[in-house]
Structure 1
Amino acid sequence: MTPLTWPDGLSDTTPMPYRVWKVMHHVDGTRQAGDVARLAHTTLADVQARVDEAHRWVGQAVRREQQVEDATARVVTQCLAAAVGPLASVMVDEVLDDLGHPVTLSALLASLAAQLPPDRAQLFVRQLRERGMA
């Protein structure tokens, strides 16, 4: 059996839920899944699920730091439209103009979310999650 390793791109600052860090904290490139499960007080299946989840979180973190392209801006606009209606395209355009170029997805999403009341922000985030962007 091969020792578990961190996914490429994962760092101590990658935002992930506690349930993932609880397992990944014990992954060091020398321990096998059974050892990690024992140290994390969980099951082998849970260890594999959390390692898989860590891979997904790294992918999301990488996407958030990429520059916003037109296709990404369109998806963000669609997600925002579910929360605010047709005003979404104006909001996205204004934020993109205000932030200048290049704009990262994380900067765009943070600026948009800051303009929304909590209930609208939750709807926006839910739409982003459904599309794998948050």
Structure 2
Amino acid sequence: MTGGERASGELEYPAWPPGLTDHTALPYGFWRIMHVADGRRSIERVAQAVGASEPQVRQVLTDVRRWLDRIAVREQPLTAETQEALRQALNSVVGPMGELMIDDALDDLPEDTALSALLTSLNTQLSEAHRQTLARLLRTRGIA
């Protein structure tokens, strides 16, 4: 264990994780903390600066890393395996109509599209309840 780390391995002086930029879409509550997490302030000082507890700051740091992981997964190129897993998930949500929905969406997208583009296209065709169910299924399969 080095001087700036705790037993959990989390840095005591939090900084932005790789992949986080000023343009990353994060909830306001995350940005409120990340704005002051500059690698020079301790967890305690970050918490004081934003009026949060240290456990809250630690949780946001963990949540931001998870958020970035999800973004990376969504921006991955659409592979045959990912497409098949998406087909299975969508079919379990809307039935055989899912096949047609994916085929129609793919017809309108470029050949080297990202998973996020296909999901965005599909989400425009789904009800809120179906979107939530599909998202939950995809998360459990490690896709989105």
Q: TM-score, normalising length from structure 2?
A: 0.82
SS of corresponding position for 1:45:
helix
1:116 matched residue in structure 2: 126
2:18 is equivalent to residue 28 of structure 1: no
**Percent of residue pairs bearing the same amino acid type:** 37
**Deviation per CA, 1:17-37, whole angstroms, max 9, x where unpaired?**
233222212111211111111
Deviation, 1:132, is: 4.0
2:25 is equivalent to residue 15 of structure 1: yes
1-structure distance, mates of 2:46, 2:121: 39
Q: Is there any run of 5+ residues in structure 1 with no aligned partner, and where?
A: none
**Deviation per CA, 1:37-95, whole angstroms, max 9, x where unpaired?**
11121111111111111111111112222111011112222221232112212322332
Moved more, 54-63 or 89-98: 89-98
Output the amino acid matched with 1:125: A
SS of corresponding position for 1:89:
helix
2:73 matched residue in structure 1: 63
2:51 is equivalent to residue 41 of structure 1: yes
Output the amino acid matched with 1:46: Q
1-structure distance, mates of 2:133, 2:80: 22
The higher-RCO structure (CA 8 Å, 6+ apart) is: 1
Aligned-CA RMSD value: 1.8
2:94 is equivalent to residue 107 of structure 1: no
Moved more, 65-74 or 85-94: 85-94
Q: Would you identify which runs of 4 or more consecutive aligned residues in structure 1 move more than 6 Å?
A: none
Provide the aligned length of Structure 1 versus Structure 2. 134
Q: Is the 8 A contact 2:82 2:143 kept in 1?
A: no
Q: Is the 8 A contact 1:82 1:127 kept in 2?
A: no
Q: TM-score, normalising length from structure 1?
A: 0.87
The structure whose Rg is larger is 2
1:5 matched residue in structure 2: 15
Of 85, 100, 104, the match for 1:94? 104
Moved more, 94-103 or 106-115: 94-103
More helix by proportion, 1 or 2?
Answer: 1
